Structure 1
Amino acid sequence: MNSLPWSGPDGAEAFDAVVAATDRMLGYPFVLRELAGHLGTGGVLVDYGCGPGRVAGQAARALGARVIGVDTSPEMLTLARRTAPEVAEYHLVADGRVDALPDGCADAVMCNHVLPSLPAEEVVLEVFAEIRRLLRPGGPVVLLTTDPACTGLDYVSLRVTGGGAALAPGEPLTVRLLRTDGSWQEVPNHAWPPAVLPGLLERAGFRGPRQHRPTVAEALPLADPALAAAHVWAAERAAPPLVVTTAFAG
Protein backbone atom coordinates (compact mmCIF):
# COMPACT_ATOMS: atom_id res chain seq x y z
CA MET A 1 0.00 0.00 0.00
CA ASN A 2 2.98 2.38 0.27
CA SER A 3 2.87 2.82 -3.50
CA LEU A 4 -0.51 4.54 -3.40
CA PRO A 5 -0.24 8.15 -4.65
CA TRP A 6 -1.51 9.71 -1.43
CA SER A 7 0.23 7.44 1.07
CA GLY A 8 2.41 8.73 3.90
CA PRO A 9 2.40 12.11 5.70
CA ASP A 10 3.47 14.04 2.60
CA GLY A 11 0.76 12.41 0.52
CA ALA A 12 -1.94 13.27 3.04
CA GLU A 13 -0.85 16.91 3.18
CA ALA A 14 -0.66 17.07 -0.62
CA PHE A 15 -4.16 15.69 -1.00
CA ASP A 16 -5.53 18.17 1.50
CA ALA A 17 -4.13 21.01 -0.65
CA VAL A 18 -6.01 19.92 -3.80
CA VAL A 19 -8.66 22.40 -4.97
CA ALA A 20 -10.99 19.78 -6.57
CA ALA A 21 -13.24 22.43 -8.15
CA THR A 22 -14.24 20.18 -11.04
CA ASP A 23 -15.21 17.44 -8.58
CA ARG A 24 -17.15 19.89 -6.42
CA MET A 25 -19.04 21.06 -9.51
CA LEU A 26 -19.63 17.89 -11.52
CA GLY A 27 -18.94 15.07 -9.07
CA TYR A 28 -19.77 15.26 -5.39
CA PRO A 29 -23.21 16.94 -5.71
CA PHE A 30 -24.33 14.07 -7.93
CA VAL A 31 -22.89 11.41 -5.64
CA LEU A 32 -24.80 12.93 -2.72
CA ARG A 33 -27.97 13.23 -4.81
CA GLU A 34 -27.75 9.56 -5.74
CA LEU A 35 -27.19 8.54 -2.13
CA ALA A 36 -30.10 10.69 -0.93
CA GLY A 37 -32.41 8.64 -3.10
CA HIS A 38 -31.44 5.41 -1.32
CA LEU A 39 -30.29 6.45 2.17
CA GLY A 40 -32.73 7.56 4.81
CA THR A 41 -31.94 9.96 7.65
CA GLY A 42 -29.91 8.11 10.26
CA GLY A 43 -28.80 5.46 7.79
CA VAL A 44 -25.19 4.25 7.80
CA LEU A 45 -22.96 5.45 4.96
CA VAL A 46 -19.41 4.17 4.55
CA ASP A 47 -17.00 6.44 2.65
CA TYR A 48 -14.52 3.91 1.26
CA GLY A 49 -11.27 5.81 0.64
CA CYS A 50 -12.34 8.85 2.64
CA GLY A 51 -9.00 10.65 2.39
CA PRO A 52 -8.98 13.82 4.53
CA GLY A 53 -12.70 13.48 5.24
CA ARG A 54 -14.06 16.56 3.50
CA VAL A 55 -16.63 14.73 1.38
CA ALA A 56 -17.54 12.43 4.27
CA GLY A 57 -18.21 15.50 6.41
CA GLN A 58 -20.27 17.07 3.65
CA ALA A 59 -22.30 13.87 3.36
CA ALA A 60 -22.95 13.78 7.11
CA ARG A 61 -24.26 17.35 7.02
CA ALA A 62 -26.25 17.06 3.80
CA LEU A 63 -27.80 13.62 4.25
CA GLY A 64 -28.25 13.35 7.99
CA ALA A 65 -26.54 9.97 7.78
CA ARG A 66 -24.21 8.27 10.22
CA VAL A 67 -21.02 8.39 8.17
CA ILE A 68 -18.06 6.05 8.68
CA GLY A 69 -14.81 6.88 6.90
CA VAL A 70 -12.32 4.16 5.97
CA ASP A 71 -8.96 4.47 4.24
CA THR A 72 -5.73 2.56 3.64
CA SER A 73 -3.64 5.49 4.92
CA PRO A 74 -3.29 6.08 8.69
CA GLU A 75 -2.09 9.61 7.91
CA MET A 76 -5.27 10.34 5.94
CA LEU A 77 -7.37 9.12 8.83
CA THR A 78 -5.48 11.33 11.27
CA LEU A 79 -6.11 14.31 9.00
CA ALA A 80 -9.77 13.34 8.55
CA ARG A 81 -10.38 13.20 12.28
CA ARG A 82 -9.30 16.86 12.47
CA THR A 83 -11.01 17.95 9.25
CA ALA A 84 -14.42 16.35 9.67
CA PRO A 85 -15.33 15.75 13.33
CA GLU A 86 -19.00 15.27 12.34
CA VAL A 87 -18.07 11.88 10.85
CA ALA A 88 -19.03 9.22 13.38
CA GLU A 89 -16.10 6.81 13.02
CA TYR A 90 -12.85 6.29 11.12
CA HIS A 91 -11.23 2.92 10.48
CA LEU A 92 -8.17 1.62 8.69
CA VAL A 93 -8.36 -0.67 5.66
CA ALA A 94 -5.59 -3.23 6.26
CA ASP A 95 -4.81 -6.05 3.84
CA GLY A 96 -7.93 -5.15 1.91
CA ARG A 97 -10.32 -5.44 4.85
CA VAL A 98 -11.92 -3.17 7.47
CA ASP A 99 -11.70 -5.56 10.40
CA ALA A 100 -13.50 -3.15 12.73
CA LEU A 101 -16.72 -3.29 10.68
CA PRO A 102 -19.03 -6.32 10.49
CA ASP A 103 -20.72 -7.76 7.43
CA GLY A 104 -23.77 -5.84 6.22
CA CYS A 105 -23.19 -2.86 8.49
CA ALA A 106 -23.73 -0.19 5.82
CA ASP A 107 -26.94 1.00 4.16
CA ALA A 108 -24.83 2.60 1.40
CA VAL A 109 -21.20 3.06 0.37
CA MET A 110 -19.57 5.84 -1.63
CA CYS A 111 -16.16 5.44 -3.22
CA ASN A 112 -14.73 8.59 -4.78
CA HIS A 113 -11.61 8.47 -7.00
CA VAL A 114 -10.21 5.32 -5.40
CA LEU A 115 -9.98 3.19 -8.53
CA PRO A 116 -7.17 5.19 -10.20
CA SER A 117 -4.87 4.06 -7.39
CA LEU A 118 -5.51 0.39 -8.21
CA PRO A 119 -3.15 -1.17 -10.76
CA ALA A 120 -4.91 -4.38 -11.77
CA GLU A 121 -8.32 -5.94 -12.25
CA GLU A 122 -7.88 -8.36 -9.37
CA VAL A 123 -7.21 -5.46 -6.99
CA VAL A 124 -10.34 -3.65 -8.15
CA LEU A 125 -12.34 -6.83 -7.60
CA GLU A 126 -10.90 -7.17 -4.08
CA VAL A 127 -12.02 -3.63 -3.25
CA PHE A 128 -15.48 -4.28 -4.69
CA ALA A 129 -15.70 -7.52 -2.70
CA GLU A 130 -14.95 -5.70 0.56
CA ILE A 131 -17.51 -3.02 -0.27
CA ARG A 132 -20.01 -5.78 -1.02
CA ARG A 133 -19.26 -7.37 2.37
CA LEU A 134 -19.92 -4.09 4.16
CA LEU A 135 -23.25 -3.46 2.41
CA ARG A 136 -26.59 -4.86 3.47
CA PRO A 137 -28.38 -6.77 0.68
CA GLY A 138 -29.82 -4.30 -1.81
CA GLY A 139 -27.69 -1.42 -0.56
CA PRO A 140 -26.11 0.87 -3.17
CA VAL A 141 -22.48 1.61 -3.90
CA VAL A 142 -21.88 4.92 -5.68
CA LEU A 143 -18.55 5.35 -7.46
CA LEU A 144 -17.07 8.61 -8.75
CA THR A 145 -14.40 8.23 -11.42
CA THR A 146 -12.65 10.30 -14.07
CA ASP A 147 -12.88 9.11 -17.66
CA PRO A 148 -9.27 8.50 -18.79
CA ALA A 149 -10.33 9.30 -22.37
CA CYS A 150 -10.85 12.97 -21.39
CA THR A 151 -7.27 13.90 -22.16
CA GLY A 152 -5.68 17.12 -23.37
CA LEU A 153 -8.41 19.43 -22.05
CA ASP A 154 -7.94 22.30 -19.60
CA TYR A 155 -10.46 21.47 -16.92
CA VAL A 156 -10.69 23.96 -14.06
CA SER A 157 -8.82 21.80 -11.55
CA LEU A 158 -7.88 18.69 -13.53
CA ARG A 159 -5.66 17.68 -16.44
CA VAL A 160 -5.43 14.14 -17.83
CA THR A 161 -2.14 13.44 -19.61
CA GLY A 162 -1.08 10.24 -21.26
CA GLY A 163 -4.69 9.08 -21.32
CA GLY A 164 -6.95 8.32 -24.24
CA ALA A 165 -9.72 6.02 -25.37
CA ALA A 166 -7.23 3.32 -26.40
CA LEU A 167 -5.84 2.78 -22.88
CA ALA A 168 -6.40 -0.70 -21.51
CA PRO A 169 -7.87 -1.12 -18.00
CA GLY A 170 -5.18 -0.59 -15.36
CA GLU A 171 -2.73 1.00 -17.79
CA PRO A 172 -0.68 3.83 -16.24
CA LEU A 173 -1.45 7.46 -16.94
CA THR A 174 -0.83 10.77 -15.20
CA VAL A 175 -3.25 13.37 -13.91
CA ARG A 176 -2.41 16.89 -12.80
CA LEU A 177 -4.44 18.42 -9.98
CA LEU A 178 -4.67 22.11 -9.11
CA ARG A 179 -3.45 23.01 -5.63
CA THR A 180 -4.59 25.84 -3.39
CA ASP A 181 -1.30 27.70 -4.03
CA GLY A 182 -1.99 27.75 -7.79
CA SER A 183 0.56 25.07 -8.67
CA TRP A 184 -0.24 21.74 -10.32
CA GLN A 185 0.62 18.40 -8.79
CA GLU A 186 1.28 15.35 -10.95
CA VAL A 187 -0.22 12.11 -9.68
CA PRO A 188 0.38 8.62 -11.13
CA ASN A 189 -2.93 6.94 -11.92
CA HIS A 190 -4.32 3.87 -13.64
CA ALA A 191 -6.93 3.94 -16.38
CA TRP A 192 -10.31 2.45 -15.54
CA PRO A 193 -12.61 3.31 -18.47
CA PRO A 194 -16.23 3.76 -17.34
CA ALA A 195 -17.39 1.05 -19.73
CA VAL A 196 -15.54 -1.70 -17.83
CA LEU A 197 -16.95 -0.85 -14.40
CA PRO A 198 -20.45 -2.38 -14.70
CA GLY A 199 -18.99 -5.77 -15.63
CA LEU A 200 -16.50 -5.69 -12.78
CA LEU A 201 -19.24 -4.76 -10.31
CA GLU A 202 -21.42 -7.63 -11.51
CA ARG A 203 -18.52 -10.05 -11.09
CA ALA A 204 -18.18 -8.84 -7.49
CA GLY A 205 -21.82 -9.60 -6.69
CA PHE A 206 -23.56 -6.32 -7.55
CA ARG A 207 -26.60 -5.95 -9.75
CA GLY A 208 -28.32 -3.27 -11.81
CA PRO A 209 -25.29 -1.07 -12.52
CA ARG A 210 -26.06 2.25 -14.15
CA GLN A 211 -23.95 5.26 -15.08
CA HIS A 212 -24.41 9.00 -15.39
CA ARG A 213 -22.01 11.60 -16.79
CA PRO A 214 -23.04 14.90 -15.14
CA THR A 215 -23.07 18.08 -17.24
CA VAL A 216 -22.57 21.70 -16.26
CA ALA A 217 -26.22 22.45 -17.05
CA GLU A 218 -27.33 19.73 -14.64
CA ALA A 219 -24.86 20.93 -12.01
CA LEU A 220 -25.96 24.56 -11.85
CA PRO A 221 -28.98 23.91 -9.58
CA LEU A 222 -26.97 21.57 -7.32
CA ALA A 223 -23.50 23.06 -6.90
CA ASP A 224 -22.37 25.91 -4.68
CA PRO A 225 -23.51 29.09 -6.50
CA ALA A 226 -20.24 30.88 -5.74
CA LEU A 227 -18.25 28.01 -7.23
CA ALA A 228 -20.51 27.84 -10.29
CA ALA A 229 -20.09 31.57 -10.92
CA ALA A 230 -16.33 31.58 -10.37
CA HIS A 231 -15.42 29.77 -13.61
CA VAL A 232 -16.49 29.52 -17.23
CA TRP A 233 -16.27 25.70 -17.16
CA ALA A 234 -15.42 25.63 -20.87
CA ALA A 235 -13.75 22.19 -20.94
CA GLU A 236 -16.32 20.76 -18.54
CA ARG A 237 -19.06 21.89 -20.92
CA ALA A 238 -17.27 20.51 -23.98
CA ALA A 239 -16.46 17.07 -22.56
CA PRO A 240 -17.69 16.35 -19.01
CA PRO A 241 -14.93 14.23 -17.45
CA LEU A 242 -16.61 12.61 -14.45
CA VAL A 243 -18.83 9.53 -14.30
CA VAL A 244 -21.08 8.41 -11.44
CA THR A 245 -21.65 4.64 -11.35
CA THR A 246 -24.28 3.10 -9.08
CA ALA A 247 -24.90 -0.59 -8.41
CA PHE A 248 -26.69 -2.62 -5.74
CA ALA A 249 -25.49 -5.41 -3.50
CA GLY A 250 -27.00 -8.70 -4.64
Structure 2
Amino acid sequence: MLLDSHPDTTGVDFGDLVQGELDVSYSEGDRLPVRMRRQDGSWSSITDTYWSRATYDSVLGEAGFEDREQCEPLLDPANGAEGDPVEPERRQRWHAATARPPFLIVSARRPLVRS
Protein backbone atom coordinates (compact mmCIF):
# COMPACT_ATOMS: atom_id res chain seq x y z
CA MET A 1 0.00 0.00 0.00
CA LEU A 2 1.24 3.49 -0.75
CA LEU A 3 0.03 7.02 -0.18
CA ASP A 4 0.96 9.82 -2.56
CA SER A 5 -0.27 13.25 -3.52
CA HIS A 6 -3.24 12.89 -5.85
CA PRO A 7 -2.13 13.46 -9.45
CA ASP A 8 -5.50 14.97 -10.39
CA THR A 9 -5.42 17.74 -7.78
CA THR A 10 -2.16 19.49 -8.61
CA GLY A 11 -2.39 23.20 -7.87
CA VAL A 12 -5.46 22.85 -5.63
CA ASP A 13 -5.05 24.90 -2.44
CA PHE A 14 -6.08 22.67 0.45
CA GLY A 15 -5.17 25.41 2.92
CA ASP A 16 -2.41 23.47 4.65
CA LEU A 17 -1.20 21.68 1.53
CA VAL A 18 -0.52 22.68 -2.09
CA GLN A 19 0.85 20.06 -4.46
CA GLY A 20 2.14 21.52 -7.71
CA GLU A 21 1.26 24.79 -9.36
CA LEU A 22 -2.20 25.81 -10.55
CA ASP A 23 -2.67 25.65 -14.36
CA VAL A 24 0.58 23.70 -14.87
CA SER A 25 0.41 20.37 -16.70
CA TYR A 26 2.75 17.75 -15.28
CA SER A 27 4.10 14.73 -17.14
CA GLU A 28 5.37 11.42 -15.83
CA GLY A 29 8.49 11.91 -13.73
CA ASP A 30 8.26 15.71 -13.56
CA ARG A 31 9.38 17.39 -10.36
CA LEU A 32 6.35 18.44 -8.31
CA PRO A 33 6.77 21.22 -5.73
CA VAL A 34 4.82 20.57 -2.53
CA ARG A 35 4.17 23.12 0.23
CA MET A 36 2.87 22.09 3.66
CA ARG A 37 1.93 24.29 6.59
CA ARG A 38 3.57 23.34 9.88
CA GLN A 39 1.85 23.39 13.25
CA ASP A 40 3.43 26.78 14.03
CA GLY A 41 1.93 28.29 10.85
CA SER A 42 5.20 28.41 8.89
CA TRP A 43 5.56 26.64 5.56
CA SER A 44 7.81 23.76 4.57
CA SER A 45 8.60 22.88 0.96
CA ILE A 46 9.68 19.59 -0.58
CA THR A 47 9.97 18.26 -4.10
CA ASP A 48 7.92 15.21 -5.06
CA THR A 49 7.70 13.39 -8.39
CA TYR A 50 4.55 13.39 -10.51
CA TRP A 51 3.12 9.98 -11.43
CA SER A 52 -0.33 9.52 -12.99
CA ARG A 53 -2.89 7.02 -11.74
CA ALA A 54 -2.33 4.98 -14.91
CA THR A 55 1.39 4.74 -14.19
CA TYR A 56 0.83 3.31 -10.73
CA ASP A 57 -1.50 0.69 -12.18
CA SER A 58 0.74 -0.30 -15.09
CA VAL A 59 3.96 -0.44 -13.05
CA LEU A 60 2.36 -2.61 -10.38
CA GLY A 61 0.78 -4.83 -13.03
CA GLU A 62 4.11 -5.29 -14.83
CA ALA A 63 5.71 -6.22 -11.49
CA GLY A 64 3.18 -9.01 -11.02
CA PHE A 65 0.88 -7.38 -8.48
CA GLU A 66 -2.79 -8.33 -8.54
CA ASP A 67 -5.97 -6.91 -7.01
CA ARG A 68 -4.74 -3.38 -7.70
CA GLU A 69 -7.02 -0.72 -6.26
CA GLN A 70 -6.92 3.04 -5.98
CA CYS A 71 -8.75 4.90 -3.25
CA GLU A 72 -9.41 8.65 -3.25
CA PRO A 73 -10.39 9.53 0.33
CA LEU A 74 -12.29 12.73 1.04
CA LEU A 75 -12.70 14.38 4.41
CA ASP A 76 -16.11 14.07 6.01
CA PRO A 77 -18.02 17.35 5.50
CA ALA A 78 -19.86 16.83 8.80
CA ASN A 79 -16.62 17.33 10.73
CA GLY A 80 -16.26 20.86 9.39
CA ALA A 81 -19.93 21.80 9.37
CA GLU A 82 -21.34 25.12 10.50
CA GLY A 83 -21.82 25.13 14.23
CA ASP A 84 -18.78 22.95 14.75
CA PRO A 85 -16.37 24.55 17.21
CA VAL A 86 -13.64 24.44 14.54
CA GLU A 87 -12.39 27.96 13.79
CA PRO A 88 -13.66 29.48 10.48
CA GLU A 89 -10.25 29.43 8.76
CA ARG A 90 -9.79 25.74 9.48
CA ARG A 91 -13.37 25.02 8.36
CA GLN A 92 -12.65 26.69 5.00
CA ARG A 93 -9.47 24.63 4.53
CA TRP A 94 -11.37 21.49 5.51
CA HIS A 95 -14.00 22.19 2.85
CA ALA A 96 -11.46 21.94 -0.02
CA ALA A 97 -10.66 18.33 0.93
CA THR A 98 -14.34 17.38 1.16
CA ALA A 99 -14.77 18.14 -2.54
CA ARG A 100 -11.45 16.90 -4.01
CA PRO A 101 -9.09 14.23 -2.73
CA PRO A 102 -5.65 15.56 -1.74
CA PHE A 103 -4.16 12.05 -1.66
CA LEU A 104 -4.28 8.81 -3.60
CA ILE A 105 -3.97 5.47 -1.81
CA VAL A 106 -2.82 2.59 -4.00
CA SER A 107 -2.99 -1.00 -2.81
CA ALA A 108 -2.08 -4.26 -4.51
CA ARG A 109 -1.32 -7.85 -3.65
CA ARG A 110 1.64 -9.84 -4.89
CA PRO A 111 0.74 -13.53 -5.27
CA LEU A 112 2.75 -16.04 -3.28
CA VAL A 113 5.28 -17.94 -5.33
CA ARG A 114 5.56 -21.54 -4.26
CA SER A 115 8.55 -23.61 -5.18
Smaller-chain TM-score bracket = 0.7 to 0.9
Q: Which has the higher strand share?
A: 2
Match of residue 241 from structure 1: 102
Answer yes or no: is the 8 Å Cα contact 1:152–1:161 preserved in 2: yes
1:194 Cα deviation from its structure 2 partner: 2.2
1:245 Cα deviation from its structure 2 partner: 1.0
Matched residue type, 2:36: L
Match of residue 208 from structure 1: 67
Equivalences for residues 56-205 of structure 1 within 5 A: 142-162=1-21, 166-205=25-64
TM-score w.r.t. length of structure 1: 0.36
Can you list the C-alpha shifts for 1:194-232, whole angstroms capped at 9, x where unaligned? Answer: 232111111122111011101223896xxxxxxxx5632
Q: Cα 1:208–1:160, aligned 2, differ >3 Å: closer, same or farther? A: same
Q: How many matched pairs?
A: 101
The 3-state SS of whatever aligns with 1:185 is strand
Q: Which has the higher contact order (CA 8 A, sep 6+)?
A: 2
**Aligned mates of 1:163, 1:170 — CA distance in 2:** 18
Q: Which has the higher helix share?
A: 1
1:237 Cα deviation from its structure 2 partner: 1.6
Answer yes or no: is the 8 Å Cα contact 1:148–1:165 preserved in 2: no
**Aligned mates of 1:212, 1:219 — CA distance in 2:** 20
In structure 2, list runs of 5 or more residues that go unmatched: 80-85
Q: Cα 1:245–1:164, aligned 2, differ >3 Å: closer, same or farther? A: farther
Matched residue type, 1:234: H
1:247 Cα deviation from its structure 2 partner: 0.4
Q: Percent sequence identity over matched residues?
A: 31
Answer yes or no: is the 8 Å Cα contact 1:163–1:191 preserved in 2: no
Matched residue type, 1:157: D
TM-score w.r.t. length of structure 2: 0.73
Answer yes or no: is the 8 Å Cα contact 2:68–2:109 preserved in 1: yes
**Aligned mates of 1:238, 1:205 — CA distance in 2:** 34
The 3-state SS of whatever aligns with 2:104 is strand
RMSD (CA atoms): 2.4
Can you list the C-alpha shifts for 1:30-87, whole angstroms capped at 9, x where unaligned? Answer: xxxxxxxxxxxxxxxxxxxxxxxxxxxxxxxxxxxxxxxxxxxxxxxxxxxxxxxxxx
